A = this chain, B = another copy of it.
Amino acid sequence: MTAHLIRKLELRDELSEEEKELLTSSIRHSRTIREGEEIVRQGDRPAVSTVLLEGFTARTQHVGEGARSITSIHVPGDFVDLHAFLIKKMDHGVTALTDCRVATVSHSDLQRITETAPHLTRMLWLTTLIDGAIHRRWLAAMGRQNAVSHMAHLFCELYLRQAEVLRLPDYKFLVPLSQAALGDAMGLSAVHVNRTLKQLRQSGTLEWTGREATILDWDGLRTLADFDPTYLHLEHEPR
């Protein structure tokens, strides 16, 4: 049930059987969420954190007159609000981009993990640090890359983050966002997303119809995007 999360952690360091058991036994109350539903709201003080088992979600923040910003996109196996455990009060919401299956870990169980399982604690901490690294790369992309390059980068990232946990056939993967939502993630208008996408398609590096994307030319896309996967910290080492 939590295979994706475990896989994501084990990719970066070994977990003992006890750690896996401790983590797995803490993850409970699996349920389904409908597309568009909010899993957590800005301002909430949740007593549990949510693991995304299947589907896609996004962190959303509202600013000014009804403008929306998407600050993260989650793929299966992501711990969408692990930070709520210590932050206490949510500074953003989490919205389902597709129908999802999620499960929860109570903060008291997380507390117990931090008291008794230091290495597992470090691994959970690590997942929040990778979150931060992704935020930084998004900031650089928004600040200093043009729309085409930025969009290419986002597709590279989403591909690799799904390839971590899923077996993906031939560079095919899901990008279950509307063009408007993609705009909220990139800081662009929906119209300009559409035009940027047209350019990307014409470059011959990417296809994206409906919700499924296919990278046609990985090296070409990577070059366009100035993509370097270091920030995803995919390496296996003692942590």
Contacts and interface: CB of A to CB of B under 8 A. Distances in A.
Interface stretch (A33-41, A115-123, A164-172, A193-201): A115-123
Given A71-B136, A83-B132, A239-B86, A63 B144 contact: yes
Interface centre among A121, A129, A137, A237 (most CB of B within 10 A): A129
28 contacts: A43-B230, A59-B136, A63-B141, A63-B145, A67-B144, A69-B144, A83-B132, A86-B126, A87-B129, A88-B233, A88-B235, A88-B239, A89-B230, A89-B233, A114-B118, A114-B121, A118-B118, A121-B121, A125-B125, A128-B129, A135-B135, A135-B136, A139-B142, A139-B187, A143-B186, A143-B187, A144-B184, A144-B187
A88 to B, nearest CB: 6
Interface string A140-159: 11111100010000000000
Contacts of A141: 63
A32 to B, nearest CB: 27
Nearest to A185: B143
Contacts of A43: 230
Contact of A145 (B64, B121, B226, B233): B64
Interface of A: 43, 59, 61, 63-64, 67-69, 71-72, 83, 86-89, 91-92, 114-115, 118, 121-122, 125-126, 128-133, 135-145, 149, 184-187, 226, 230-231, 233, 235, 237, 239
Given A118-B114, A125-B128, A140 B61 contact: yes
Contacts of A235: 88-89
List the number of copies, as a whole number: 2
B129 A69 contact: no
B89 A142 contact: no
Contacts of A69: 139-140, 143-144
A149 B64 CA distance: 9
Interface centre among A92, A135, A143, A233 (most CB of B within 10 A): A143
